[in-house]
Amino acid sequence: MDHFENLLPIGAIVHQNADAADAHLAAFIQSLQEQGKRVLGVIQAPEEVSYAYGSQMGIINLDNGAYTSIAQKLGKHNTSCCLDSAAVSQACTILQHARAQNPDLIVVNRFGKLEAEGEGFASEMLEIMSLGLPMITVVADRFLDEWRVFSGGLAQEIPAQLSAMQSWFEQANALHTS
């Protein structure tokens, strides 16, 4: 417990499989909402939802359920990364709104390539951290070193397990309210 006292109420779900991490995060969010907690921010949309919207990748606003595509249309046979950095930057307004609401938890779908380069949701994540608001994100193993530098080593790394996320939230919530 002593180690947690030196941390911010920031959690990183570290994974090797994004789909599994996203499923556990969705279950965690649902559990918190069933407890009456206010959870805002964005989650990664499942592939089938993105495809239904004619996109390869998107996010869902936890406040209103709105879908936002964050993929460029690069053509049917393109194998390049389709992430649209401009769309991600525009989606920062969702996190700005969430931050202003002072919820029990802010969710940021990913700390990925853009954030590791200081783009994407990076500035909003730093603002949330500076305010000491509880925030959770998903970080792939390949970006873990960048995440640790970005968070200054002040975030707790959480396995993609519901019980671990619940335990983290209890500690983060206590830290935030103290």
Q: What is the pLDDT of residues 118-162, one digit of tens each?
A: 999 999 999 999 999 999 999 999 999 999 999 999 999 999 999
Q: What is the CATH number of domain 2-44+84-177?
A: 3.40.50
Domain range list for the chain: 2-44+84-177
Sign for the pseudo-dihedral over CA of 166, 169, 174, 175? positive
**Which residue is listed with tokens 């049917």?**
76
Q: Model-level pTM? A: 0.89
pLDDT at position 82:
55
Residues 54-110 pLDDT 10s: 887 899 999 999 999 888 665 555 444 456 777 887 889 999 999 999 999 999 999
Residues 6+ apart with CB under 8 A from 149: none
3-state SS of 35-98 is CCCCEEEEEECCHHHHHHCCCCCEEEECCCCCEEECECCCCCCCCCCCECHHHHHHHHHHHHHH
Please return the burial class of 88, using the count of CB atoms within 10 Å of its CB with bins 0-12, 13-18 and 19+.
buried
